[in-house]
């Protein structure tokens, strides 16, 4: 029993260290968590609060018809960083909207394709810039995405495999990211724990740009599901 507890503690400690290392780099783009609603019927509403790597997110989704859904996501993150022996308070914000098509196959199978875009503000601590960063400079970030997914759903679990493509522009430089991952929502009917895990792979190495990205997508939170019909 003590060995098992020690193993769990070591795993948790390692995870915390990895996340801390990833978020301590000079990084402009932190991929948001996956909002993959896997709708069941018209009128369904999903509200999720999740904590991710470099993001605290509110995810919402609504099934406007039997096949068309919309989503609205917002994320923010505040942190204190030390740059050249000076301490700065930094904030990142993003809001985005999307629309998509969803459907069902078999008894539990589901699929969806969402697309959309967003606008955000990030700290402008870039490489090779003409100014000295003092913590006050900010820059605009735009993010356009298309997100196909396939999965299954029941009264207890929703599961999906996601293949997201994101087109991100920061400091007048654009890069495309392939962001595959898995999501799971586990609980019973209206209230579930929600988690996601994936990677962000750039088409162009960010070392050739003035900004970096975080390669890990990881989120954990709680989802409330309203108006879903169960057969």
- At residue 30 the predicted structure's pLDDT band, cuts being 50, 70 and 90, is very high
Task: Find tokens 């162009």 and name the residue.
Answer: 204
Strand, helix or coil at 180? strand
Provide the residue count of the chain: 231
Per residue in 183-220, pLDDT (tens digit) is: 999 999 899 999 999 999 999 988 889 999 999 999 99
| H helices, E strands: number in the chain | 1, 11
Distance in angstroms (rounded) separating the CA atoms of residues 182 and 197:
6
What percentage of the chain carries pLDDT values higher than 90? 70
- Specify the pLDDT at position 159: 95
Distance in angstroms (rounded) separating the CA atoms of residues 207 and 25:
13
- At residue 51 the predicted structure's pLDDT band, cuts being 50, 70 and 90, is very high
Per residue in 122-181, pLDDT (tens digit) is: 999 898 888 888 888 999 999 999 999 999 999 899 999 999 999 999 999 999 999 999
Least confident of 25-29, 52-56, 192-196, 209-213: 25-29
Instruction: Tell which residue, 39, 13, 186, 171, has the closest CA to residue 104.
Output: 39
Written as six digits, the tokens of 168 are 């991100």
CB-side neighbour CA atoms (13 Å) of 104:
14
Over the chain, what is the mean pLDDT? Answer: 88
The Cα-based distances of 35 to 32, 49, 172, 205, 211 in angstroms read 9, 11, 27, 26, 25
pLDDT beyond 60 at 4: no
Distance in angstroms (rounded) separating the CA atoms of residues 9 and 13:
6
The Cα-based distances of 122 to 44, 92, 174, 226 in angstroms read 33, 5, 15, 33
Over residues 28-46, mean pLDDT: 96
Distance in angstroms (rounded) separating the CA atoms of residues 99 and 28:
26
Instruction: Tell which residue, 123, 48, 116, has the closest CA to residue 90.
Output: 123
Q: For residue 29, what is the DSSP state?
A: B
Q: For residue 2, what is the DSSP state?
A: H
pLDDT beyond 80 at 49: yes
């Amino acid at each position: 029993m003590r060995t098992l507890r020690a193993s769990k503690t070591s795993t948790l400690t390692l995870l915390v260290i990895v996340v801390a290392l990833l978020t301590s780099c000079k990084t402009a783009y932190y991929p948001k968590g996956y909002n993959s609603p896997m709708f069941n019927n018209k009128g369904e509403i999903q509200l999720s609060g999740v904590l991710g790597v470099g993001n605290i997110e509110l995810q919402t989704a609504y099934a406007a018809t039997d096949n068309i859904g919309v989503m609205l996501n917002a994320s923010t993150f505040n942190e204190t960083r030390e740059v050249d022996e000076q301490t700065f308070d930094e904030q990142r914000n993003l809001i985005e909207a999307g629309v998509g098509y969803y459907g069902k196959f078999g008894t539990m199978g589901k699929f969806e394709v969402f697309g959309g875009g967003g606008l955000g503000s990030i700290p402008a601590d870039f490489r090779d810039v003409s100014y000295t960063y003092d913590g006050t400079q900010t820059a605009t970030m735009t993010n356009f995405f298309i997100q196909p997914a396939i999965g299954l759903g029941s009264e207890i679990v929703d599961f999906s495999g996601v293949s997201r493509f994101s087109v991100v522009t920061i400091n007048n430089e654009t890069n495309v990211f392939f962001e595959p991952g898995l999501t799971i929502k586990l609980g019973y009917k209206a209230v579930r724990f929600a988690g996601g895990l994936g990677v962000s792979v750039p088409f162009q190495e960010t070392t050739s740009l003035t900004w970096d990205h975080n390669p890990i997508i990881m989120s954990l939170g709680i989802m409330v599901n309203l108006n879903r019909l169960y057969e």
